[in-house]
Structure 1
Amino acid sequence: MEAASSATDLTFWITCGAIVTLLVMSAYFSGSETALTAASRGKLRAQAEKGSRGAETALRITEDNERLIGSVLLGNNMVNILAASLATALFTRLFGESGVALATLVMTLLVLVFAEVLPKTYAITNAEAAAARTAPIIVWVIKIFSPIVTAVRWFVRRVLALFGVQTDPDSHILAVREEIAGALYLGQSEGVVEKEDRDRILGALDLGERAVEEIMLHRSRIEMIDAEAEPDAILDQCLKSNHTRLPLYRDDPDNIIGVVHAKDLLRAMHKLVTESQDGAAALKNFDVCSIARKPYFVPETTTLDDQMRQFLRMRSHFAMVVDEYGTLQGLITLEDILEEIVGEITDEFDPDAEHPVRRTEDNQFLVDGAMTIRDLNRANDWNLPDEAANTVAGLVIHEAQMIPKVDQVFIFHGFRFQVMARKDNRITRLKVRKL
């Protein structure tokens, strides 16, 4: 009788020890999953460059999140199910049929507190450190469960395919840009990140996805020099201009033959006047083409990131934009690209023009028609679409499918647009209100 009691006590303690061990393993799997998925890859890479092998391993195994999560979940479910089975057997032996309900209640509390909430809270608080410590062990878990996880992934994809859902095995859960953008928007909503800082970072990230045609100065607004004009008129135009570089054309504005830099023009004219006995009269023989620099043409589809690199490589800040037929469409400068990151750049030579967005007394906004939709969205934290048009006026014309008249009102995308001014076929000013 005593031997049976001793065996029962030994079995009881072995079962209890096994349940505790399985709960510890469950906590480890839960914490590891949270740490490895929540850890910043940027911080892990910084640690890896400092010599942390754990961080390097964590970076390697998080490249395939689906395999990582599948292996960890498989291990976690196995230990949880085994722990619940042992607890049910133990409580049934002690309390009879009511032991099933009691085992369910006790194991639910133990798993919830000690195997889920507690380890995951710690992992979120110390994500990078926990990921670096747990990665070397999780690597072996992935290797052991890899055949099973591969089979499960294949089966899941086949099941999803039956319902018309196609999965990309090489896709990531979140793209890097979306992850950064989400963190910035969250930080800005919580007051940790300033709106201006958010816009600068997102502007830099967008350079590779936007083309020069989206921000170029349209050809209708380009100030040009006629090569056949009198030297006095050319000098007067350059002195009155707010720009240091002006395109030079002959006969037709589409026929750009060079770019005139104000410094080159003034130096050449000063040299001609001072070295000639005729003085200012010598300017009549001045040939503006002799000091014009070779024009630089770029396709309108070039990305802003590529164009900025070209500007820096060529040590040039000015380019003419052409379409696929070689027709002039506009011009772009390095300053235009930088403004997409830091916002509007002005200096003492910029005209004291009215701000392109001005709030009215009735809480509406007067907007320049040539203002880009992106700039308007950044200025007011709006979300007007910019796929079909680059400017606010272009968006109104696209949606209206006509050239509106003054005082016409349109409502689309949750905004009210009223045409305030128009010049020829171009909308120059609008009044916009968010509904």
Structure 2
Amino acid sequence: MDEISTGVLLSVLFVLILLSAYFSGSETAMMSLNRYRLRHLASSGHKGAIRATKLLERPDRLIGLILIGNNLVNILASSIATIIGLRLFGDVGIAISTGVLTMVVLVFAEVTPKTFAALHPERIAFPSSHILRLLLIVLLPFVKAVNLITSAVLKMVGIRSTKTSDALSQEELRTVVHEAGALIPRRHQEMLLSIMDLEKVTVEDVMVPRSELYAININDEFKSINKQVIQSPHTRVLLYRDTVDDAVGFVHLRDALRLQSKGQFSKSSLLRAVKELYFIPEGTPLNVQLSNFQQNKERIGLVVDEYGDIQGLVTLEDILEEIVGDYTTSMITTPSEDINEQQDGSFLIEASINIRELNKEMDWQFPIDGPKTLNGLILEHLEEIPTVKTSMRIAGYPIEVIELGDNMVKTVRVLPQHYAQPKA
């Protein structure tokens, strides 16, 4: 290279540094692309996204290509820098050129382009995919050879290359939804998170318990039955004989009122109008039951335990409300009616309230992996039926029993402002 002037060598060195910056930036940009946004753009016909997607289908070849190009230009740059150093400074020029080139490559060919590419991956990756695709065609045999050697070395040390999956776990997807920020309205975020939580919630958590069922005993006097039908707060009413466990079926108020308008309303006609019962095993996750409702063309079912005893009632609307929140008008007591704030900041709460509804309404943290009601939680905690004025602390919340009845805790007082456990 003696006949080549130092100026030309400096120009070549400058070009090599630019190429090194290109390869470094391209590598970071391609690997920093959001794979889900990339698929969306590719499916929308974005040409740059389509090219990048094809390159990323074989990341081993892409990385091999980029590293081959980067190492080639860096080695050439090192050789040329050494020659320039020797010409300008003699033997000490080797050390000078090494130090200067290291700093130049580090700043201008590594850190700067990679930082910019990480911040704006699409601006770098999409245009770069043109050049990378052409280089891959030209250097494919060499890239394949390097990959084969690499795979052989990995196998020798007991490592087998396997294709990684881009699939997200449920918790990872939850994090993505949480971090979506303004991209997804808060209400939509809550709905998405509720859908993911359906498998953690069972029909027992959302059912109307047996004690609160609005049902009609078909063995009552007909006058009483007629009155209960007229006063029913629901469009579907459960009919039973003497005990709820001997359920007959559901009757739609529309059918009952039609019979009344025709003057054909009687016990026998009412029984002929009932719909077949649909039973749901307790412990069924809501996501499974939602699918079962759809497959069986049902909207309402009775929850039964392992002995076949009826525990409560669940409807399609109950499951949908777990996703979108309360949207129906119901005569069933709502949590807000069971909770009464007092002047001292405490709350008087009906102990029959569902714990999940209480937590949701008040943003509290009572455990939900055991009893379903606050009464059940208190009885489990004390392991006996308490007396009035009995005080305890559950999950850090001070609770005082205010009223008892029928071997149950009826009303309690909760002091949320002191819920935190005292630190040791």
With the shorter chain as reference, the TM-score category is 0.7 to 0.9
Per the alignment, residue 322 of structure 2 pairs with 340
The amino acid across from 2:272 in the alignment is S
Identity of aligned residues (%): 25
Q: What RMSD over aligned residues (CA atoms) do the two structures have, in Å?
A: 4.4
Structure 1: how far apart are the matches of 2:162 and 2:195?
28
Does 1:253 find its partner at 2:275?
no
Partner of 1:211: 202
Q: Which amino acid aligns with 2:118?
A: K
1:317 and 2:299 correspond: yes
Summarize the alignment of residues 217-236 of structure 1 with structure 2, pairs less than 5 Å apart.
Answer: 217-236=208-227
More deviation, 305-314/334-343: 305-314
Q: Quickly say closer, same or farther: Cα 1:103–1:134, change in 2 above 3 A.
A: closer
Partner SS state of residue 275, structure 2: coil
Q: 2:391 aligns with which of 384, 408, 414?
A: 408
Aligned residue for 2:15? Answer: 17
Which runs of structure 2 are paired with 1:93-112 in the superposition (5 Å)? Answer: 93=83, 94=85, 95-112=93-110
- Counterpart in the other structure of 1:33: 31
Describe how 1:51-90 pairs up with structure 2 within 5 A.
Answer: 51-52=45-46, 55=49, 68=59, 85-90=75-80
Q: Deviations over 1:127-176 (max 9, x none)?
A: 996799799689989984754675687689869xxxxxxx997665732x
- Tell me what 2:88 maps to: none
- Cα separation, partners in 2 of 1:195 and 1:228, compared to 1, 3 Å: same
- Alpha-carbon shift at residue 339 of structure 1 (Å): 0.7
Is there any run of 5+ residues in structure 1 with no aligned partner, and where?
160-166, 274-281
Query: TM-score w.r.t. structure 1 length?
Result: 0.72
C-alpha displacement of 1:77: 5.6
SS of residue paired to 1:316: coil
Letter in 2 for 1:218: P
Go from structure 1 to structure 2 and tell me whether the alpha carbon gap of 1:372 and 1:98 turns closer, same or farther (over 3 Å shift). Answer: farther
The offset of 1:326, in angstroms, is 2.7
1:326 alignment counterpart = 308
CA contact (8 A) 2:240 2:247 kept: yes
Q: Does residue 181 of the first structure (1) align with residue 165 of the second (2)?
A: no
1:377-400 Cα offsets, whole Å, 9 max, x none, are 5445566654445555555556x3
**Using a 3 Å threshold, how does the CA distance of structure 1 residues 29 and 420 change in structure 2: closer, same or farther?**
same
Instruction: Name the aligned partner's letter for residue 29 of structure 2.
Output: G
Once the two structures are TM-superposed, the CA of residue 295 in structure 1 deviates from its matched residue by: 0.9
Q: Which has the larger radius of gyration?
A: 2
Compared CA separation, residues 148 and 355, structure 1 to 2 (3 A): farther
Task: Provide the residue aligned with 1:418 in structure 2.
Answer: 399
The Cα shift of 1:26 comes to: 1.3
Residues 27 and 47 of structure 1: CA distance in aligned 2, closer, same or farther (over 3 Å): closer
Distance 1:26 1:389, change over 3 A: farther
**Equivalent residue for 2:234?**
243
**Structure 1 CA distance, aligned partners of 2:72 and 2:273?**
85
Q: 1:386 to 1:101 in 2, by over 3 A?
A: farther
Cα displacement (A) at 1:237? 2.2
Of stretches 378-387 and 257-266 in structure 1, the one that deviates more from structure 2 is: 378-387
Q: In structure 2, give the amino acid aligned to 1:213.
A: E
Q: Using the TM superposition, name which of 240-249 and 327-336 deviates more.
A: 240-249
Question: What's the secondary structure of 2:2's corresponding residue?
Answer: helix
Whole-Å separation in 2 of the counterparts to 1:130 and 1:388: 57
1:256: Cα distance to partner?
1.6
- How many equivalent residue pairs? 402
The correspondence for 1:298, drawn from 280, 301, 311, is: 280
SS at match of 1:4: coil
Cα-to-partner distance string for 1:179-216 (whole Å, 9 max, x where unaligned): 4432432345xx66554332222223333554323322
Please give the TM-score of this superposition, normalised by the length of structure 2.
Answer: 0.74
Deviates more, 1:418-427 or 1:232-241: 418-427
Shift of residue 308, structure 1, vs aligned partner: 2.9
